[in-house]
Amino acid sequence: MPENKCPGEGVSMVVLAGGKSSRMGRDKCDLKIEKSTFLEWQIEKGRKLGITDIQVSGYHGEACSVPVTPDRFPGKGPLGGLESCFRRAREERVLVLGVDMPLLPAEELKRLLEKGREKTKRAMILAHQGKEEPMAGIYDRDLADEMLTEIRERKGSVFAFLNRLGYDLYESSAPEAYFANINCPEDYKKHIENTGS
């Protein structure tokens, strides 16, 4: 088979951008990194990978360069966001990326996409030094119904869902800083503001 030149071919993307941002005290999507907002910064990574079907999940703000999909069941957390977006995704596999992992480079997502082509389970998530990141993963679009069951009948925890489902890991050896979750003002100061980004 010829090598796939475009890493994002056959893949949709969902940027998770809902929730309360309660630890940050303001919407994390609107924080700045290199003159961009976190939200547009993450969307741009999908474009760089050649993904054309990109949705933003649950964003409460006004300006966004791609379609925003509201949560069908608000308050159900990230799984609720994914459930809504997966129903609209055009491709069978979906790259999921949290808005609060802005330091994860497109190159690392490219590797995840490549590894994801060999996945044996219906989801593959990124891991780093034993820490698993379900908000950076490749998921099958047809998981939407099972996600709905998880949020209707259980607590809707992403990890509980994945444990029930079974999932593959892509264990990354990239530098630790790439995996920073920017959740509170201290994280922002430490990883972005004070680094001159």
Ligand X SMILES: Nc1nc2c(ncn2[C@@H]2O[C@H](COP(=O)(O)OP(=O)(O)OP(=O)(O)O)[C@@H](O)[C@H]2O)c(=O)[nH]1
Tokens of 161: 């869902």
Q: Which of 22, 173 has the CB closer to ligand X?
A: 22
Q: Which of 10, 36 has the CB closer to ligand X?
A: 36
Q: Using CB under 6 A, list all residues that contact ligand X.
A: 16-23, 57-58, 71, 76-78, 80-81, 98-100, 135, 183
Residue 160 Cβ vs ligand X, minimum distance, rounded to whole Å:
14
The response to whether 116 counts as a known ligand-binding position is no
Spatial separation of the C-alpha atoms in residues 197 and 82, rounded to whole Å: 30
Spatial separation of the C-alpha atoms in residues 142 and 147, rounded to whole Å: 9
Residue 29 Cβ vs ligand X, minimum distance, rounded to whole Å:
7
Residue 158 Cβ vs ligand X, minimum distance, rounded to whole Å:
9
Residue 55 Cβ vs ligand X, minimum distance, rounded to whole Å:
10
CA angle at 83 for the pair 78 and 85, rounded to the nearest 5°: 95
The response to whether 143 counts as a known ligand-binding position is no
Half-sphere exposure of 8 (CA within 13 A, CB side): 22
Residue 162 Cβ vs ligand X, minimum distance, rounded to whole Å:
14
Q: Which of 8, 18 has the CB closer to ligand X?
A: 18
The response to whether 27 counts as a known ligand-binding position is no
DSSP E strands in the chain: the ranges are 11-16, 32-33, 36-37, 54-57, 68-69, 93-98, 123-128, 131-140, 168-171
Q: Which of 86, 170 has the CB closer to ligand X?
A: 86
Q: Which of 100, 116 has the CB closer to ligand X?
A: 100
* Pairing mode of beta strands 54-57, 93-98: unpaired
The three-class DSSP label of residue 135 is strand
| CA nearest neighbour of 44 among 64, 28, 70 | 64
The response to whether 18 counts as a known ligand-binding position is yes
Annotated binding site for Mg(2+): 100
Give binding residues for GTP as ranges.
16-18, 28, 71, 100
What are the binding residues?
16-18, 28, 71, 100
